[in-house]
């Protein structure tokens, strides 16, 4: 039974200092399922004390100790995959098979990837007479979103453990249960007390207290650019390190010699996946003006075959978005796109046909969009694609880079060489060529207002390390 009324601090389940709760709503039914406890600044203070005390010893553990710990975590995690998937499906609406394979599966993959990195990572390097040592930075405050709960948490928690750091995690109040299960996994795996601490709470309360806390050495934040700015401002007086993965409005450049059907179909499906709730979704499809009509027809066909429905139904392609707040925001952006003159190819405002409750969004495609329209500038975070036309390759690149964001970019071309050429010109932290997915060991993060840190693989591990130079270490 998942413990939703307590927090996990210093290796034990503890009551909140102040009794306060928040309902968790099933987005498919709009019904409250249960309440979770909400934390306060005092709960954060208690967790910081536990984490700082634990850091004194955990930071001194050997590589072998931490390898063994991650191996135990992986073994227990595998036994709880279905539990995690069910929790994610119920709380943020992902179809159950998707939740198990991709939502729960991504967490396992990140922990396993970190384990592989840890086994061979060089924490020490000789430079002349100096020894350059990479040491754990200290106590990490982690603030994570609801759209990919296990993915975003595992790619922070696993490398922090590998580095020898201790941590305090505030997950989203919309998706608390999968993270509570993770705390149970860590407890069963024997994570030393105080190394991992979990407090559920709201951003303006727990998140703010963590950002401002002088006892926290670093904040790792994933979420909206607006919230990321607030975290950075609150953290500035304590000069703590900030690592952020923020919003996106990623371009998908389809060149005239690409396989149009394959490129468009893949791009539309990727936008609709997870109900559009992925920060790196290729939501701006940039295509030759001469092929706008053909692209629109292909995209319309994909949209009309994408079934929104019950996350537990076998024939469901996408579930609801996470909340009424998100649903209303998306509806407003769809309506504004129509008002601004974008051509509605598929979908539109309102619930999908045959659905009368739940936060479901119609899979929506707009054509003849210009890059100055609101729908092309703002992150929708729903199953909404815009198609923008270009005259030549130079204009395609200009449109792709004409955004305050820079998280991801996508290129489709008839040859890999041409795709590489355009890919190098995109101002984004990760670029995918001709449908090849991300490499789990390669860095993930953004340019510009999409953030300033890198996660995944050795790059994620290095986010949690300080660099010390000891001159004279090798002197005779």
List active site positions. Answer: 245, 279
* φ, ψ for residue 268, nearest 5 deg: -65, -45
Say which residues have a Cβ less than 8 Å from residue 417's Cβ, sequence separation at least 6: none
Beta strands 251-254; 408-412: pairing state: parallel
Q: Is residue 390 a contact partner of residue 396, using CB atoms and an 8 Å limit? A: yes
Closest to 150 in 3D by CA, of 173, 120, 182: 182
HSE at residue 51, side-chain half, CA atoms within 13 A, is: 33
The alpha carbon of residue 333 and the mean position of all alpha carbons in its chain are separated, in whole angstroms, by 22
Phi, psi of 443 (to 5 degrees): -70, 150
Ramachandran sector of residue 79 (left: φ over 0; alpha: ψ -120 to 50; beta: rest): alpha
Is residue 184 a contact partner of residue 16, using CB atoms and an 8 Å limit?
A: no
Query: How many angstroms separate the CA atoms of 373 and 390, rounded?
Result: 15
Contact by Cβ (8 Å): 396, 286: yes
SS3 state at 386:
strand
User: Cα(367)–Cα(345) distance, rounded to whole angstroms?
Assistant: 6
């Amino acid at each position: 039974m998942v413990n939703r009324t307590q927090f996990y601090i210093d290796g034990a389940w503890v009551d909140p200092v102040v009794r306060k709760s928040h309902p968790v709503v099933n987005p498919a039914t709009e019904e409250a399922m249960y309440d979770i406890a909400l934390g306060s600044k005092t709960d954060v203070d208690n967790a910081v004390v536990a984490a700082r005390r634990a850091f004194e010893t955990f930071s001194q553990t050997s590589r072998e100790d931490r390898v063994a710990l991650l191996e135990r975590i992986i073994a227990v995690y595998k036994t709880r995959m279905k539990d995690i998937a069910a929790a994610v499906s119920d709380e943020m609406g992902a179809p159950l098979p998707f939740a198990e394979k991709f939502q729960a599966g991504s967490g396992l993959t990140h922990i396993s990837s970190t384990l592989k990195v840890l086994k061979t990572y060089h924490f020490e390097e000789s430079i002349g007479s100096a020894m350059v040592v990479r040491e754990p930075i200290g106590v990490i405050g982690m603030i994570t979103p609801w759209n990919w709960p296990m993915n975003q948490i595992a790619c922070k928690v696993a490398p922090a453990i590998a580095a020898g750091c201790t941590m305090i995690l505030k997950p989203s109040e919309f998706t608390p249960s999968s993270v509570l299960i993770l705390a149970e996994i860590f407890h069963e795996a024997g994570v030393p007390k105080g190394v991992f601490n979990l407090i559920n709470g709201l951003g303006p309360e727990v998140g703010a207290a963590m950002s401002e806390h002088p006892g926290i050495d670093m904040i790792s934040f994933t979420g909206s650019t607006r919230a990321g700015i607030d975290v950075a401002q609150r953290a500035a007086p304590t000069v703590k390190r900030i690592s952020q993965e923020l919003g996106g409005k990623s371009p998908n450049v389809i060149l005239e010699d690409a396989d149009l059907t394959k490129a468009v179909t893949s791009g539309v499906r990727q936008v609709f996946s997870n109900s559009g709730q992925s920060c790196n979704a290729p939501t701006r499809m940039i295509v030759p003006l001469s092929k706008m009509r053909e692209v629109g027809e292909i995209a319309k066909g994909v949209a009309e075959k994408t079934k929104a429905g019950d996350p537990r139904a076998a024939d469901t392609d996408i579930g609801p978005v996470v909340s009424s707040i998100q649903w209303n925001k998306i509806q407003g952006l769809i309506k504004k796109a129509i008002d601004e003159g974008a051509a509605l190819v598929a979908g539109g405002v309102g619930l999908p046909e045959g659905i009368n409750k739940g936060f479901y969004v119609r899979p929506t495609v707009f054509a003849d969009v210009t890059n100055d329209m609101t729908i092309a500038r703002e992150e929708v975070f729903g199953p909404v694609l815009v198609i923008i036309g270009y005259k030549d390759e130079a204009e395609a690149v200009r449109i792709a880079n004409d955004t305050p964001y820079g998280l991801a970019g996508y290129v489709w071309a008839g040859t890999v060489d041409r795709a590489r050429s355009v890919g190098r010109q995109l101002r984004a932290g990760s670029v995918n060529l001709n449908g090849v997915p991300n490499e789990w060991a390669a860095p993930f993060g953004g340019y510009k207002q999409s953030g300033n840190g890198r996660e995944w693989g050795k790059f994620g591990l290095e986010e949690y390390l300080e660099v010390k130079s000891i001159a004279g270490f090798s002197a005779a």
